Each structure stands twice: as structure tokens, then as C-alpha cells.
Amino acid sequence: MQARRLENTGAIEFVPNVFPDHRGLFVAPFQEAAFTEALGHPLRVAQTNHSVSARDVIRGVHFADVPPGQAKYVYCPRGALLDVVVDIRVGSPTFGQWDAVRLDSEQYRALYVPEGLGHAFLALTDDTVMSYLCSTPYNPSAEHGINPLDPELALPWDDLAGDPVLSDKDRAAPTLAEAAEQGLLPDYQACLARYEELR
């Protein structure tokens, strides 16, 4: 498995080997040894999530309060999606920048999204499945969102076939600037301290 740190956010892309044969294929999208080597600590899994989305559904931009935050290890076992990670850590040298990676059921690339980063994706096919390994359980009082259509963020939704399909909650979410004004965004130094705790 290969690991690559993304340029703007510090998220990490993992590329596993895929073994096809006449029966189908075998792949291990998460491998603890490769993860620990890349991050310096194992992934604590407190919850697994599974979502199914129609074409043009956008989910996110979602994040959780830090500490403790919620790290996610995500991959796409069916269909295809564009996964987007946004640096929303106030004080970060790459604040407001984003990285995008295509995840699909051909290459089974995975993405690790550390605590304090925003996460969103666009489903590129009907019945696209996203699988999440989460470091902490869902905590509604600590979960927040940023509007994925915020023009200042200019997220790369160029592959939309039609109008974006959003939840009411995501559509009503504040812009990045509004979330900053409301004091909702994670602090960069607090995130760095959390990363050190995990090592």
C-alpha cells in the first residue's frame, strides 16, 4: 500500500494493491501497518458509517469540535465520488485551501481526514457507497457544517451532471467566513496538540 500526504491539508491518501482474477477481485482498503507507518500512530475506530448516495448528492462540509475531534478513514466500495478535504483550522498556514481525490470501486483509494479538517464529497454515480472508519462516535452537539456551495471556498464541483442535491442542514450551513465569525472552527494549535497526543 502506498501513502501520499496531500499538499494543502495534510490529509493522507492510501492506494492499496487490487488483485483481480476470474472470480472478481480482492483488496484491503485499510491496512493498520501502512496507516501506522504513515501517521506514527494506529487508527482508533469507535464507529463505522456507511452512506449510499444518488448522482449529484453532495454531503458536507462536515467537521467536529477539537478536542477530541473526529478523524475519518474513508473509501468508496461501490460507485465513484470526488472526496474533498478543506483546511478549516484557524491559524493554519493553509487555512481555506482544499484537496480533492477521486475515490471509486476500481482502485479503492482511501483517504485519512485528521481531526479539525472539513470533509465533503460529491457522488459521481447513482448508488455510490461511502464507507467511513471514525475515531470517535457521533456526537450531535459537537458536529458542525460549512455550506459546500460557499463561493469563497470554490470547491471543485465541476462534475455535477445537474443541480447539486444537499440536505436541508448542509444547504443552511454557514459559509467559512460566517463559521469563523461564530467561533465554530477548530484552532490550528489545538489540532496540532491533539495530533501529538495520538502519537
Annotated catalytic sites, by residue?
62, 132
Who contacts 61 (Cβ-Cβ below 8 Å, separation ≥6)? 84, 86, 88, 118, 119, 120, 145, 146, 147, 148, 153, 155, 170, 173
C-alpha cell at 115: 481531526
C-alpha cell at 183: 467561533
Quickly count: other Cβ atoms within 10 Å of residue 125's Cβ: 17
- Residue 100 pairs with which residues in a beta bridge? 84
- Residue 122 pairs with which residues in a beta bridge? 58, 82
